[in-house]
Amino acid sequence: MNSNQRIKDILIRTITYITSFISVVILGGILIFVLVEGLPLLNFDIILGDNKDTYLPSMKLEYVEDGDNFSYEPKDGEYFSKRYGVAVIDDKTLEGLPIIRFTYIDPNSPFRRTQGIGNFEGEMHSIDKGDVIISGVLLWSDSYLNDEGHINPDAASIPYQVKEGAESFIEKLDRTFYVASIAPVILGGGIRGSIVTTLYLIVLTLIIALPVGIATSLYLHELAPQNKFTDLIRSLIDMLTGVPSIIYGLMGAAFFIPLAQKMFSGQIQSGSLISGAMTLSVIVLPVIIRSTEAALDVVPKDYKLASLALGANETQTIFKVMLPNALPGILSASLLAIGRIMGESAALIFAIGTVISDDISIFGQGTSLAVHIWSTMSSENPNFALASTISIILLAVVLSLNLLIKFITFKFVKRYA
């Protein structure tokens, strides 16, 4: 090797090392960012909880005497009302909006004996630890009673907004004789509905796409004559993998939504999980077809020839010899399809919509985890923490499926080895 060739080899190797290092750094940086932002929010409440906030009945509290009626040692960040026996802290929703959260309520606190108002008039309710206030607080000052001790119809209110914070809430609550309205909320923000929607889409899409894709691969590889026409079909299939997702979404909105409405007349009014699965099926078909063909190519031709020599016909050979031995590759194709389904967002925005729903039906709308990330990041205040949490869940699911398919593949390889 001359010196010029040696220099070229060193240069090429150096460039390879540098570009590989840059790729690792970028990918590692993205992963670290996702973990740092998302792990603090990752818990079962997020995974299993509803997304929609649950509003409890609006309540009122009757007259409370002034004075230090209750005692409690507030922790850091807590503010305690000695008059009402409740402690609260400043908190935020997953979207970053300010809220007031109850952290302690004395067993004898008036907040344990609230009365419903409006449609819940006459009902008894209780505010519990963990309940949240977003809005709807109406406080009345000492002038709630007049000099004779009777209710003053012209009593002055004490203006309060949640954005003022927990300290201001307690300070004004201690000056309050009468809480005319308070509406506690059980916060949502969970992604259970999006997880269920994603699983539905995976199952429905594979039910549609796998049989069609595998059958097409078997035809092209085993039955069709190998000529320019089949080569053209393969080229067109390869070309489909490069079509932008948004084009598939337009096709879903223009074709699959009306088709689903006609197929299930009266049950589907707009985009649905069915129309989304149909759209995704078209997207993943090229992946399944080409991966299955590649798996069939790997099966030794001697297996096929031996089967035919022993008297099996072509159909028996395909389904009892070729297909079982190609199964590891087909499972890999399924994994690639699942990864594409889970990561797809642009097409689903058109084919299903962006409605985050907790009540999931294949005839209704919903959002996959990827679309949920889009919805979270498309608001005026992008929520990087929640988007990162969902990303961690997506990565964990893909990794789990990868390991599962590797295990199944190992079992089949042992069986047919």
pLDDT digits (tens, 9 = 90+) for 126-136: 888 888 988 87
Q: Which of 157, 131, 145, 159 is nearest to 57 (CA)?
A: 131
| Sign, Cα dihedral of 293, 296, 302, 308 | negative
**187 burial type by CB count under 10 A (0-12 exposed, 13-18 middle, 19+ buried):** buried
DSSP 74: -
* DSSP 8-state secondary structure symbol assigned to residue 319: I
DSSP string, 100-148: EEEEEE-TT-GGGSEEE-GGGTT-EE---TT-EE-S--EEE-GGGB-TT
In 3D space, the residue among 322, 368, 324, 317 whose CA is nearest the CA of residue 346 turns out to be 368
Q: Is the pLDDT of residue 334 over 90?
A: no
- Banded model confidence at residue 53, pLDDT cuts 50, 70, 90: confident
Mean pLDDT estimate for the chain: 85
Residue 323 scores a pLDDT above 80? yes
Whole-number pLDDT of residue 345: 87
Crossing angle of helices 384-416 and 3-38, in 10° steps, is 120
Helix pair 192-218, 273-298: axis angle to 10 deg: 40
Dist. CA 111–CA 123, nearest whole Å: 14
- Give whole-number Cα distances, 289 to 61, 200, 234, 299, 358, in Å: 67, 22, 9, 16, 35
Q: Residue 324's pLDDT is what?
A: 84
Q: What is the DSSP letter of 151?
A: B
**Residues in contact with 65: Cβ distance below 8 Å, sequence separation at least 6, in sequence order:** none
CA dist., res. 49 & res. 41, Å (int) = 13
Is residue 153 scored above 70 in pLDDT? no
Q: pLDDT tens digits, residue range 141-151?
A: 766 556 665 65
For residue 389, how far is the Cα from the chain centroid?
Answer: 9
Buried b or exposed e, range 279-310, using 16+ CB within 10 angstroms: bbbbbbbbbbbbbbbebbeebeeeebeebeee
108, 85 contact by CB (below 8 A): yes
Q: In the prediction, which pLDDT does 201 show? A: 93
Q: Is the pLDDT of residue 85 over 80?
A: yes
Please state the separation of Cα 382 from the chain's center in Å: 15
- In the sheet that holds 184-186, the strands lie side by side as 54-55, 184-186, 132-133, 98-105, 86-92, 79-81
Residue 206's pLDDT band (cuts 50, 70, 90): very high
**188 φ/ψ angles, rounded to the nearest 5 degrees:** -95, -135
Lowest mean pLDDT among 118-127, 197-206, 388-397: 118-127
Tell me whether residue 398 is exposed, middle or buried, using C-beta atoms within 10 angstroms of its C-beta: 0 to 12, 13 to 18, 19 or more: middle
Share in percent of the chain as helix, strand, coil (round to 5):
60, 10, 30
Using one digit for the tens of pLDDT, what is the confidence trace for 30-44? 999 999 988 888 888
* pLDDT score recorded for residue 143: 61
Q: Would you give the distance in Å from CA 271 to the centre of its chain?
A: 18
Rounded Cα distance between 57 and 37, Å, is 34
What is the reported pLDDT for 230? 86
| 343-360 tens-digit pLDDT | 888 899 988 888 888 888
Helix (H) or strand (E) holding 38: helix 3-38
- Tell me the per-residue pLDDT of 214-265, one tens digit each, with 9 for 90 and over: 999 988 888 888 888 888 888 888 888 888 888 999 999 899 998 988 888 7
Nearest 10 degrees: CA dihedral of 238, 242, 248, 249? 160
- Give residue 101's pLDDT band: very low, low, confident or very high (50, 70, 90): very high
Which pLDDT score is estimated for 273?
Answer: 92
Name the nearest CA neighbour of 411 among 328, 323, 334.
328
Which one has a higher pLDDT value, 157 or 124? 124
For residues 36-59, give the mean pLDDT: 83
The answer, yes or no, to whether residue 90 has pLDDT greater than 70, is: yes
**Residue 59 confidence (pLDDT) above 80:** yes
